[in-house]
């Protein structure tokens, strides 16, 4: 609070007083983590891509190999409205190798930042080197049809570890293509100038992993507690493991999603028919974890970018994630990503298994979401239930928008209330919390996120001496109780028709 100097004589003085409001901002709702095998790219981190072109540049195009689905899923994700994808590239570590320089450049060793044959197509040049300062270019090697291309350039580098432009640090922090290390034995020698490319060598794809192989490579049962590439990512909302339909494996991913307040979009077994899905729905998870995911049936026939003029049966999870993102952007996370607005784009020509309304009802009641083809509307998502959506379970988290709205609120409050930590745990703090959280919830109410015509019917925020007892205060705990009345989708619309008896007009 600024002080006012009253020595300046009689006048009107303005004093600014802090409102005490810490604005809680809405977090993103549709950042999607894709986990699968790809022909190139880093394997030590989850990398954000924001377009299909960026994905191709960093991870390669769709693959014609059998049971390799990640490229197709990401392509369809962007085609259907997705904008942010976190790519977790998984390879068979025992058989895949990274390409690297055969010998160091001065005191510097450079290698491709991920396993695979792709690295053999790259190398480095040193356009200049003088007074222990040098420039390093990462280049794509020339071919019969393409000249050498510089993909990254680093200027004014030094091999002095105390220098702010220390090459190892700069390259490892900024490069999307390579990793740098100190030569063995260590040396501070700068590389000599060399404009001719020095090629990487030794890159090997190794065994190509199908979706089950991807899950196994991540650690089997340990998936329930950690996925290293995602553990350090501050936020993702949706997860796809394209083509994976093994219930046990999907259960591990779903448990991980629960720990991260994220939501799994799962693919059905492409070999299942309608009767099998309706009578024996996939037992992916039980209890609380079942509310952190949804499953879709059937697979889709999509024009194949790897084989122009032909279609290919592909898993729907990437399409579904894109439609989630599109719906979130236009209507909000509280709108069910289904119905005539949830049309499928991106070259889809048909569903692999058509179904009738009666069959749809059976499958939907089992907690499996259908993808339908209608004459007027085309291919649309026609279901919005979580894996706890079986009618027999009676779960309060039956519907996808209800669960995802709760996750959105939880994540937003988690990020927006960090200022509370270490504040004095008493009524002044509780009042600020009520003010800030109440403002956030009221803004959602105004956007139509909740049921109810007035705020008191739509949400409540409680933080006081009842929610936080003296024992809680002694333990350093402040309890905030937030409730909301969710909007549930209208799955069944009942139209009553009555014939009017003949009436005489007068």
Q: Read off the pLDDT of residues 192-251 as tens digits, 9 standing for 90 and up.
A: 999 999 999 999 999 999 999 999 998 766 666 789 899 999 999 999 999 999 888 888
Which pLDDT score, from 0 to 100, does residue 223 have? 67
- Please report the pLDDT score of residue 285 as a whole number: 65
Q: Percentage of residues in the chain with pLDDT exceeding 70? A: 92
pLDDT score at 393:
83
Q: What is the pLDDT of residue 502?
A: 58
* Mean pLDDT for the stretch of residues 350-357: 94
Q: By mean pLDDT, which of 129-143, 282-296, 303-317, 327-341 is the weakest?
A: 282-296
* pLDDT > 60? residue 6: no
Q: How are beta strands 311-314 and 300-303 bridged, if at all? A: antiparallel
- The pLDDT value recorded for residue 499 is 65
* The three-state (H, E, C) secondary structure of 237-296, written as one string: CEEECCCCCCHHHHHHHHHHHHHCCCEEEEECCCCCCHHHHHHCCCCCCCHHHHHHEEEE
**pLDDT value at residue 233:** 96
- Flag whether pLDDT at 17 surpasses 80: no
- The CA dihedral of 27, 30, 36, 41, to the nearest 10 degrees, is -60
Tell me the mean pLDDT in the region 257-262.
Answer: 95
pLDDT of residue 13: 72
431: region left, alpha or beta (phi > 0 left; psi from -120 to 50 alpha): alpha
What secondary structure letter does DSSP report for 451?
S
Please give the pLDDT value at position 8: 61
Range in 46-55, 280-289, 333-342, 456-465 the model is least confident about: 280-289
State mean pLDDT over 302-323: 94
Residue with tokens 């899923």: 73
User: For 445-480, what is each residue's pLDDT tens digit?
Assistant: 999 999 999 999 999 999 999 999 999 999 999 999
**pLDDT tens digits for range 361-406:** 989 988 999 999 999 999 999 999 999 998 888 889 999 999 999 9
133-140 and 122-130: which strand pairing?
Answer: antiparallel
Domains of the chain: 32-92+210-401 (3.40.50.11780), 108-199 (no CATH), 418-506 (no CATH)
Q: Averaged over 125-149, what is the pLDDT?
A: 94
Tokens of 174: 């900024």
pLDDT tops 70 at residue 19 = no
**At residue 15, does pLDDT exceed 60?**
yes
Q: How confident is the model at residue 408 (pLDDT cuts 50, 70, 90)?
A: very high
Average pLDDT, the chain: 91
Token reading at 143:
């071919």
């Amino acid at each position: 609070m600024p002080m006012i100097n009253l020595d300046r004589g009689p006048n009107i003085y303005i004093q600014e007083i802090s409102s005490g409001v810490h604005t809680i901002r809405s977090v993103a709702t549709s950042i999607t983590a894709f986990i699968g095998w790809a022909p190139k790219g880093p394997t030590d981190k989850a990398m954000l891509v924001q377009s299909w072109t960026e994905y191709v540049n960093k991870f390669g195009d769709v693959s014609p190999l059998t049971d390799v689905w990640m490229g197709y899923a990401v392509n369809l994700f962007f085609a259907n409205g997705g904008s942010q994808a976190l790519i977790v590239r998984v390879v068979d570590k025992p058989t895949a190798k990274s390409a690297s320089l055969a010998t160091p450049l001065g005191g510097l060793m450079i290698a491709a930042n991920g396993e695979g044959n792709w690295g053999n197509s790259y190398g480095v040049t040193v356009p200049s080197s003088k007074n222990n300062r040098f420039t390093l270019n990462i280049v794509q090697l020339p071919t019969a049809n393409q000249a050498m291309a510089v993909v990254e350039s680093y200027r004014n580098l030094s091999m002095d570890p105390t220098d702010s432009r220390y090459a190892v640090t700069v390259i490892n922090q900024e490069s999307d293509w390579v990793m740098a290390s100190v030569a063995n034995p260590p040396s501070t020698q700068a590389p000599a100038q060399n404009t001719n490319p020095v090629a990487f060598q030794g890159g090997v794809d190794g065994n190509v992993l199908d979706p089950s192989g991807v899950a196994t490579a991540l650690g089997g049962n340990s998936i329930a507690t950690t996925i290293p590439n995602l553990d350090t990512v501050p936020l993702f909302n949706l997860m796809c493991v394209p083509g994976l339909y093994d219930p046990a494996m999907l259960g591990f991913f779903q448990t991980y999603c629960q720990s991260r307040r994220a939501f799994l979009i799962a693919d059905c077994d492409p070999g299942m028919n309608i009767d099998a899905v309706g009578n024996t729905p996939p037992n992916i998870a039980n209890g609380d974890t079942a509310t952190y995911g949804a499953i879709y049936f059937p697979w889709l026939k999509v024009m194949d970018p790897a084989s122009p003029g032909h279609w290919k049966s592909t898993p729907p999870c990437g399409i579904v994630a894109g439609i989630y993102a599109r719906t979130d952007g236009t209507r909000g996370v509280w709108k069910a990503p289904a119905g005539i607005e949830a049309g499928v784009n991106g070259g889809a020509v048909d569903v692999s298994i058509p179904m009738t309304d009666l069959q749809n009802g059976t499958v939907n009641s089992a907690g499996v979401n259908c993808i339908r083809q209608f004459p007027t509307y085309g291919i649309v998502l026609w279901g919005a239930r979580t894996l706890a959506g079986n009618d027999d379970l009676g779960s309060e988290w039956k519907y996808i928008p209800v669960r995802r709205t709760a996750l959105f609120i939880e994540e937003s409050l988690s990020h927006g209330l960090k200022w509370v930590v270490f504040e004095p745990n008493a009524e002044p703090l509780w009042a600020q919390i009520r003010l800030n959280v109440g403002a956030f919830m009221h803004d959602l109410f105004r956007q139509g996120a909740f049921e109810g015509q007035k705020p008191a019917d739509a949400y409540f925020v409680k933080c006081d001496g009842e929610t936080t007892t003296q024992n809680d205060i002694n333990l350093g705990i402040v309890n905030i109780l937030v409730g909301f009345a969710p909007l549930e989708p209208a799955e069944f619309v009942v139209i009553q028709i009555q014939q009017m008896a003949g009436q005489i007009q007068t």
